[in-house]
């Protein structure tokens, strides 16, 4: 079992980011689309399937 470490907002603000901001800024919508298409775990939906999608319902019941 993995132990979770909790951080305060102050601790988080003091941490150095490990994100590659330059790479993030340079990534285009086309790059993202190519990554999605090349991912074998991403379902390739037709336009009709996308049109038929509906939002999932909340598990919580309204009173």
Number of DSSP helices (H) and strands (E) in the chain, helices first = 4, 0
Q: What angle do CA 52, 58, 62 make, to 5 degrees?
A: 125
Average of per-residue pLDDT across 11-37 = 94
Residues present in the chain in total: 63
Better-predicted residue by pLDDT, 60 or 21: 21
Cα 47 to Cα 32: distance, rounded to the nearest angstrom: 19
Give the pLDDT of residue 48. Answer: 96
pLDDT at residue 59, as a whole number: 74
pLDDT of residue 62: 61
As a whole-number percent, the residues of the chain with pLDDT over 70 amount to 95
Q: Give the closest residue to 34 by CA, choosing from 42, 23, 25, 45.
A: 42
pTM: 0.46
């Amino acid at each position: 079992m993995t132990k979770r470490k909790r951080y305060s907002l102050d601790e988080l603000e003091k941490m150095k980011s490990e994100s590659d901001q330059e790479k993030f800024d340079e990534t285009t919508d086309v790059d993202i689309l190519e990554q999605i298409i090349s991912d074998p775990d991403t379902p390739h939906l037709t336009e009709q399937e996308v049109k038929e999608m509906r939002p999932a319902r909340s598990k919580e019941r309204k009173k």
